[in-house]
Amino acid sequence: MPVIEFREALNQAMCEEMERDESIFLMGEEVGLYNGAYKVSKGMMDRFGARRVVDSPITENSFVGLGVGAANVGLRPIIEVMTFNFAIIALDQIINNAAKMRYMSGGQLKTPMVIRGPGGAAHNLACQHSQAIESFLVHTPGLKVVTPSTPYEGKGLLKSAIRDDNPVCFIESEVMYGMKGEVPEEEYLIPLGVSNKIRDGGDCTLVSYSKMIHVCMEAAQKLSEGDGVECDIIDLRTLRPLDMNPVYESIAKTNRVVIVTEAWPMCSMASEISSLVAEHVFDDLDAPPARVSSEDIPRPYASNLEHAASVTPEKVVQAVKKVCYLAD
Amino acid sequence: MATTSIAPATASSLPKEELLQAYREMLLIRRFEERMAQMYQQGKIGGFCHLYIGQEAVAVAAQHALRPDDYMITSYRDHAHPLVRGTDPMRCAAELFGKEAGVARGKGGSMHFFDVERNMYGGHGIVGGQIPVATGMAFASKYREEDRVTMCFFGEAAMNQGTFHESLNMASLWGLPVIYVCENNQYGMGTALERASAVTDLSRRTAGAYNIEGYAVDAMDFFATYELFKKCADKARQENRPTFIDAICYRFRGHSMSDPVHSHYRTKEEVEEMRKKDPIRVMVRHFDENGLYEEAFLKDVDKEVKEHVNDAVKRAVESPDPGLETRWEDVYTD
């Protein structure tokens, strides 16, 4: 099976879908001539032309809004935001228009569009370029939110997102674009709204998504080797719709759960999952649900401060030990 | 880049029968909204309710300048646009009463009138929020090589939002078939144009900045407004060029039903003076001066329209509330 980078998997997903459906176009800053700020759209302007791969001015709120209008009359836009930090400028169009158009028209309109780009922190980018804002989006009914964790997942989920008739926020990761993984040559899709158990272990359940999955994997490895503690890991894949059944099934076995997200802890996916677990499988728990999140501060620049504020495998290990009553 | 001033009223290029239809539509908006104002005061309508009374010539001129397959999209002052497109007034009233038969199944209310079958794409509540959406609709028309035009309406206060400037830039850059119509009723809520805009000759704000031809028109005059809209629609259709129109009009009511006709921000005298330019009166005078229709006949038409509105309101009142289960519908599509 070919081993390719995450960015290439996403590129393949877009190219394959654009080949099969003329109504799909890609728009965003630097997506065309420059081949994409992170080279996700490399070669696409050459392949599909400037009509379908459109370099936009730096106008996030309005080119997202343009995507909404184009989608409402039957096109299927893929709108690239250079990072989701810049999508904050477009939150009006995302939340007030993309998410609401169907409901406020009484079901007359559809908004089949994908808003995609990297989210979360990279390295030394400081407050405005390093934030995981998925909670802002997940909060809003009418949106779907997808957070892939590997090249394989990225390709299969992006193809499904492009084919979905609802607005989908597809949050990638700057530090994952160069990550390599096996991606089959034959076509496949991964449905939205189906969580995936990616590691088996009987002692504790780790719930996460996107690049934090890799932090969880590293933590699970350390726990296995160092402490003989084995973790189930559930990759949520999509945050809305949210598939909690694999989480509940896992907790029925492990009786413990640690939720790992890069976002801040207040009103986050971690707090939501913690609450759902308490509501639905309280009796299965032998310890309170634990959360590992970025520290509740804007992200600092200095490497030592940044590292201290971040989610690390060590913090996850510590949280697992705590819910297993192996540490204070 | 040319910026033309207010065009004088001229003999219309529209046939006599179509002018009568336009007159009916002007009255339909007026009588519908007068009735809705009563219903609001009786507590039958909730939330915000922004009336179009005084601005009728804009929507009606648009309807006659556009083809039925052209797109319209507007702000929350949106009752007139579906009515001119032919939406059953019963469905408009039903929306205001929160009924299942409403144009948005009772989910939108006054600010969110949609009739996609008639190419009326809402009804948008965030000032300036619909301008990028309109630009995207025009983008789609060009992408598909259709000769459809998008007409995007907004108030003059929306011109101070970033979306206006961002959208005009893209529309000009990419040559999109869209007409940006500023329904300039001269007040953004209680703030007069000159208290919010550094340049008050609005059409001058687009020509130099975005290479978009800007025009101004006395939009209390249906005839002048129609001629300009037609010219801009042709330009969009034939040349894929956007235009901007400062449609200078006036609202005779408050910003919404919750505020008075005049208070600190404008005088009673000003409103009374502007009433002399009532677009319906201007139209009737035109008919009279050109020997088109007699006053007695026009009064009969008005009576018919009132009966039509009353019947629609009656049917809307009697129609069922939405089933409670419908609140979970239309969040997502399969």
The DSSP-derived string for B24-61 is HHHHHHHHHHHHHHHHHHTT-S-S-----TT-HHHHHH
d(CA B218, CA B238): 25
B163 pLDDT above the threshold of 80: yes
d(CA A305, CA A299): 8
pLDDT digit string (tens) for A102-143? 999 999 999 999 999 999 998 999 999 999 999 999 999 999
B7 pLDDT above the threshold of 80: no
- Residue A198 is which amino acid? I
A144 pLDDT above the threshold of 50: yes
Q: In A, residues 157-176, which contact B (CB 8 Å cutoff)? A: 165-166
Best mutation site among A21, A26, A73 for testing chain B: the one with the most B CBs within 10 Å? A73
Q: Is there a contact between A225 and A231 (Cβ–Cβ < 8 Å)?
A: no
d(CA B112, CA A105): 7
d(CA A279, CA A107): 32
Chain B residues lying within 8 Å of A51, measured CB to CB = 143
Contact A106 B123 (CB under 8 A): no
Q: Is there a contact between B255 and B190 (Cβ–Cβ < 8 Å)?
A: yes
**Has A60 been annotated as catalytic?**
yes
Chain A residues lying within 8 Å of B166, measured CB to CB = 57, 59, 61-63
Torsion angles phi and psi, residue B244, rounded to 5: -125, 135
pLDDT the model gives residue B258: 85
Q: Which two tokens stand for residue A232?
A: 């189930």
Burial of B315 (0-12, 13-18, 19+ CB in 10 A): middle
B5 pLDDT above the threshold of 50: no
Counting residues of chain A whose pLDDT is more than 70, the rounded percentage is 100
Residue of A nearest to B101 (CA): A106
Q: Which residue of the set A8, A17, A29, A60 is catalytic?
A: A60
**CA B312 distance to own-chain centroid:** 21
For residue A181, give every residue at least 6 positions away whose Cβ sits within 8 Å of its Cβ, in sequence order, or none: A3, A4, A6, A9, A150, A151, A152
The answer to whether B169 contacts chain A (CB < 8 Å) is yes
B8 pLDDT above the threshold of 90: no
Chain B residues lying within 8 Å of A165, measured CB to CB = 333-334
Q: What is the DSSP letter of A249?
A: H
d(CA B305, CA A229): 79
**Has A123 been annotated as catalytic?**
no
Report the residue from A51, A107, A142 with minimal CB separation from B143.
A51
Q: What is the pTM of this model?
A: 0.96
B3: helix, strand or coil = strand
3-state DSSP helix/strand/coil % of chain B, to nearest 5: 50, 10, 40
CA dihedral A197, A199, A203, A206 (to 10 degrees): -60
The answer to whether A56 contacts chain B (CB < 8 Å) is yes
Label residue B1 by pLDDT band (50, 70, 90).
very low
A84 pLDDT above the threshold of 60: yes
B78 pLDDT above the threshold of 50: yes
Contact B136 A69 (CB under 8 A): yes
Q: What is the DSSP letter of A120?
A: B
Q: What is the pLDDT of chain B when averaged over all its residues? A: 94
Sign of the four-CA dihedral B1, B5, B8, B13: positive
Chain A residues lying within 8 Å of B139, measured CB to CB = 66, 69-70, 75
The ipTM, to two decimals, is 0.96
pLDDT the model gives residue B10: 54
Report the residue from B104, B133, B333 with minimal CB separation from A106.
B104
Best mutation site among A88, A105, A113 for testing chain B: the one with the most B CBs within 10 Å? A105
Q: Is there a contact between B48 and B76 (Cβ–Cβ < 8 Å)?
A: yes
Q: Is there a contact between A232 and A206 (Cβ–Cβ < 8 Å)?
A: yes
Q: In B, residues 95-114, which contact A (CB 8 Å cutoff)? A: 102-108, 112, 114
- Residue B304 is which amino acid? E
B9 pLDDT above the threshold of 60: no
Contact B134 A67 (CB under 8 A): no
Helix (H) or strand (E) holding B314: helix B295-318
pLDDT the model gives residue B203: 92
B89 pLDDT above the threshold of 60: yes
Q: Is there a contact between A256 and A286 (Cβ–Cβ < 8 Å)?
A: yes
**How far B167 CA lies from chain A's nearest CA (Å)?**
6
Q: How many CB atoms lie within 10 A of CB B43?
A: 7
B26 closest CA partner among B307, B234, B298: B298
B243 closest CA partner among B177, B318, B289, B186: B177
Burial of B35 (0-12, 13-18, 19+ CB in 10 A): middle
Please report how many Cα atoms fall inside a 13 Å half-sphere around the Cα of residue A23, on the Cβ side: 17
Best mutation site among B142, B170, B327 for testing chain A: the one with the most A CBs within 10 Å? B170
At which residue do the structure tokens 């028309």 appear?
Answer: B141
- Length of chain B (residues): 334
Contact A104 B166 (CB under 8 A): no
Chain B residues lying within 8 Å of A166, measured CB to CB = 332-333
Mean pLDDT across the stretch B242-253?
96
The answer to whether A69 contacts chain B (CB < 8 Å) is yes
B3 pLDDT above the threshold of 90: no
d(CA B246, CA B164): 14
CA-based radius of gyration for chain B: 19
Chain B residues lying within 8 Å of A72, measured CB to CB = 121, 133, 136-137
Sign of the four-CA dihedral B43, B124, B230, B201: positive
Chain B residues lying within 8 Å of A59, measured CB to CB = 166, 169-170
Q: Domains in chain B, start-ordered, CATH in brackets?
A: 3-8+48-87+112-252+280-293 (3.40.50.970)
> Among A93-107, B51-65, B92-106, B193-207, whose mean pLDDT is lowest?
B193-207
